[in-house]
């Protein structure tokens, strides 16, 4: 790979992408970034105040219809972030989730293979849905039991990339199974567990917890680790057609609530039903990614930043509305 890297990002204005593009600095080898987003979530502010040391080119486009051929001629790596990520609500939008998460990924991957461009695909640890206590990337197929349309489409996309690489030998990719994201960004959302819990607690709402889930462990990924991991893959050229678990910590809902209570002592809990509450507790190993030379530093204490930002919008409980 040449000294300076030209990068294309699909879905760059969202929770992860907005943090990534605002993290650019003079130490990064990335010289130019092409941003493609369809503004479906109206996150225009993610484009404000981008770092001046990087050349950005924004294109309003949809991965389901965009013609990638011309733009990829000057690109080294595609970071594919565009996706529908709300797992709980994906049951109500299965057809659209399939189109965006699978068909969209298929189009991007085929364009990368044709142009000989490397690809990073963000999958999810939700593909496991396992009854095993500890899982890693080498688990058996029967341990891959995604519990939502969102997770199913991510696993389908993974399989497509693996199959494509066997047919197109020049196609190089890295698949990252990200744990559930927490942390702040310009384009952040609050449908994922930790961020949602913080929102509810600060806004004087009971934290809604799926029945049976209070003490079950799940894998989580701090946004700081997520962004560092993506820079690491790009700059270290770790495109070995492999799948990696990218996870900061495995913790229970009860651990999260106890951390939130440090900042919002009167936090309350309400137990609710969920279509995906039947997942059992499991621990996702991240050793394979660590063995590449990456160090995870994310900690649950990072939620304090989100709490502080939200408290500014709910600073007085005595104001009558």
Query: What is the DSSP secondary-structure string of 239-302?
Result: -SSEEEEE-SEEEEHHHHHHHHHTT-TT--EEEE--TTTTPPP-EE--HHHHTTT------GGG
> pLDDT at residue 13 above 70?
yes
State the pTM of this model: 0.93
Of 78-82, 248-252, 279-283, minimum mean pLDDT range: 279-283
Domain co-membership, 270 together with 241: no
Domain co-membership, 183 together with 260: no
Which of 112-121, 135-144, 185-194 is most confident? 112-121
Domain co-membership, 23 together with 62: yes
Q: Tell me if 73 sits within 8 A of 46, measured CB to CB.
A: no
Residue in 255, 248, 253 with CA at minimum distance from that of residue 284: 248
Considering only the C-alpha atoms of the chain, give the largest distance between any 2 of them, rounded to a whole number of Å. Answer: 65
Q: Which residue has the higher pLDDT, 245 or 312?
A: 245
Q: Tell me if 161 sits within 8 A of 177, measured CB to CB.
A: no
Q: Determine whether 45 is exposed, middle or buried from the number of CB atoms within 10 Å of its CB (0-12, 13-18, 19+).
A: exposed
User: Angle CA(77)–CA(84)–CA(102) in degrees, nearest 5?
Assistant: 65
Q: Is residue 292 part of a domain?
A: no
Domain co-membership, 18 together with 143: yes
Domain co-membership, 274 together with 208: yes
pLDDT of res. 280: 66
**Which tokens is 127 given?**
């593909």
Overall domain count for the chain: 2
The percentage of residues in the chain with a pLDDT greater than 90, rounded to a whole number, is: 70
Per-residue pLDDT, averaged over 208-217, amounts to 84
> pLDDT at residue 277 above 70?
no
Per-residue pLDDT, averaged over 91-109, amounts to 87
* Residue 318 confidence class, pLDDT cut points 50, 70, 90: very low
Per-residue pLDDT, averaged over 148-170, amounts to 93
Domain co-membership, 226 together with 80: yes
**What stretches of 91-241 adopt beta strand conformation (E)?**
118-124, 134-135, 173-178, 180-182, 207-210, 217-222
Domain co-membership, 125 together with 199: no
Q: Tell me if 238 sits within 8 A of 176, measured CB to CB.
A: no
Helix-helix angle 193-202:303-311, to 10 degrees = 40
Q: How many CB atoms lie within 10 A of CB 157?
A: 24
Q: Which residue has the higher pLDDT, 132 or 14?
A: 14
Q: Tell me if 173 sits within 8 A of 161, measured CB to CB.
A: yes
pLDDT of res. 27: 75
**Which tokens is 161 given?**
């990339």
**Which tokens is 314 given?**
């709910």
The percentage of residues in the chain with a pLDDT greater than 70, rounded to a whole number, is: 92
Instruction: Give the integer Cα–Cα distance in Å for 233 and 229.
Output: 6
> pLDDT at residue 316 above 90?
no
Average model confidence (pLDDT) across the chain = 90
Q: Tell me if 160 sits within 8 A of 107, measured CB to CB.
A: no
Instruction: Give the integer Cα–Cα distance in Å for 62 and 68.
Output: 10
Q: Tell me if 54 sits within 8 A of 79, measured CB to CB.
A: no
pLDDT of res. 67: 97
pLDDT of res. 96: 85
pLDDT of res. 317: 54
Domain co-membership, 22 together with 129: yes
Length of the chain: 321
* Residue 309 confidence class, pLDDT cut points 50, 70, 90: very high
Q: What is the CATH number of the domain that holds 116?
A: 3.40.50.720
Range of 268's domain? 193-215+251-284+297-311
């Amino acid at each position: 790979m040449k000294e300076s890297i030209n990068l294309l990002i699909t879905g760059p204005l969202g929770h992860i992408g907005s943090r990534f593009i605002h993290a650019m600095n003079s130490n990064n080898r990335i010289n130019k970034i092409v941003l493609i987003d369809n503004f479906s979530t109206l996150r225009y502010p993610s484009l404000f105040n981008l770092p001046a040391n990087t050349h950005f080119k924004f294109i309003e486009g949809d991965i389901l219809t965009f013609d990638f051929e011309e733009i990829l001629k000057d690109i080294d790596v595609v970071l594919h972030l565009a996706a529908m990520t709300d797992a709980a609500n994906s049951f109500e939008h299965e057809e659209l989730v399939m189109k965006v998460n699978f068909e969209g990924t298929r189009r991007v991957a085929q364009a990368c293979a044709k142009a000989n461009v490397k690809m990073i695909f963000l999958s999810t640890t939700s593909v496991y849905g396992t009854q095993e206590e500890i899982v890693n990337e080498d688990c058996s197929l029967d341990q891959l039991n995604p519990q939502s349309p969102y997770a199913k489409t991510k696993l389908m996309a993974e399989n497509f990339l693996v199959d494509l690489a066997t047919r197109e030998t020049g196609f190089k990719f890295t698949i990252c199974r990200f744990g559930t994201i927490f942390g702040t960004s310009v384009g952040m959302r609050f449908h994922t567990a930790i961020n949602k819990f913080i929102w509810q607690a600060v806004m004087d709402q009971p934290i809604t917890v799926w029945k049976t889930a209070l003490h079950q462990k799940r894998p989580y990924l701090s946004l700081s680790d997520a962004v560092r991991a993506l820079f690491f893959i790009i700059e270290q050229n770790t495109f070995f057609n492999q799948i990696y678990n990218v996870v900061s910590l495995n913790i229970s809902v009860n651990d999260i609530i106890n951390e939130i209570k440090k900042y919002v002592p009167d936090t309350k809990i309400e137990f609710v039903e969920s279509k995906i509450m039947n997942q059992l507790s499991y621990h996702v190993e991240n050793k394979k990614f660590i063995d590449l030379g990456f160090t995870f530093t994310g900690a649950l204490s990072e939620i304090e930043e989100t709490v502080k930002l939200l408290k500014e919008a709910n600073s007085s409980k005595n104001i009558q509305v």
